[in-house]
Amino acid sequence: MTTIGCQSTCSPADQIFITRISPRQRQNYRARLNYKPAHWTQLAGSINWWENKNGANDTQFHQHYRNAGFVLTLFPNESMSLNLSYNYTDALQDAYICYNGSFVAPGTTANGCPTFDPANTSNNNNPSWIYSDYSNTINYLNAVLAFRPLKRLTVNAGYALTHTNGSSTILNTLQPLGPSQFSYHQPLASLGLDIAKNVSLHAYWNYDQYSEGSFVGPTSPRYFHDNRTVLSARYAF
């Protein structure tokens, strides 16, 4: 697919230009699963798969988005339940690009941009040509266990993890990979105690830890963590 437009800064003879804005080939595959092998077990899963391509010599565009996950719920009795979920995402986008800058990235073809004209640089001031790549994978895991060790006591314990691992063509020496490479941990716990009719006490704890695995620049990788605790009393009427 192409689009035709005009630029007010161009001369009348150069006001029309053509730009490819979408792939020539596209495939999408999707599937869902719901399964209940027993009355106390439920399993649900899904897959969403995108593949996009444009094989033009000066584009060589490749893109995919692949996502798959499941949710498993177990409740063997009234005093215990377990919820487990997982999700995987894989994103990629590669294509030839033209750029300009004082930093020359590895793999660059100097003055190699197909539309670069050394005799008329005002129409295109991006002479460098490189096959740019971006890729990122994300793994997400969440588990929560709820049980009642005593009739009046309810306990919840859980853990969530988000982990990414990606890479990208760097066109600036100060450009960080940032959220393309990080880990985010979130454990949690809570207690609920019924002390009298319609009266209960609750305690909740949650921990967050975010850390980036790589940073290109003058500072250290970004990192933070915090603890949160909530104490409450509940009266139901």
- Which residues lie across from 129 on neighbouring strands? 98, 109
- Please, are residues 17 and 9 in contact by the beta-carbon 8 Å criterion? no
- Please, are residues 56 and 50 in contact by the beta-carbon 8 Å criterion? no
pLDDT of residue 16: 47
pLDDT of residue 1: 38
Best CA proximity match to 195, nearest among 230, 233, 231: 233
Where along the chain do its domains lie? 25-235
pLDDT of residue 22: 67
Best CA proximity match to 148, nearest among 192, 188, 185: 192
Indicate yes or no: pTM above 0.85: no
Alpha helices in the chain (DSSP H): none
pLDDT of residue 21: 54
CA distance 157 to 133: 40
Please give the chain's pLDDT, 237 residues, in tens. 333 344 445 455 444 444 555 688 899 999 999 999 999 999 999 999 999 998 888 889 999 999 999 999 999 998 999 999 999 999 999 999 989 888 899 999 988 888 888 888 777 788 999 999 999 999 999 999 999 999 999 999 999 999 999 989 988 887 777 778 899 999 999 999 999 988 999 999 999 999 886 554 556 677 889 999 999 999 988
pLDDT of residue 219: 62
pLDDT of residue 4: 39
Best CA proximity match to 64, nearest among 25, 28, 92: 92
pLDDT of residue 118: 82
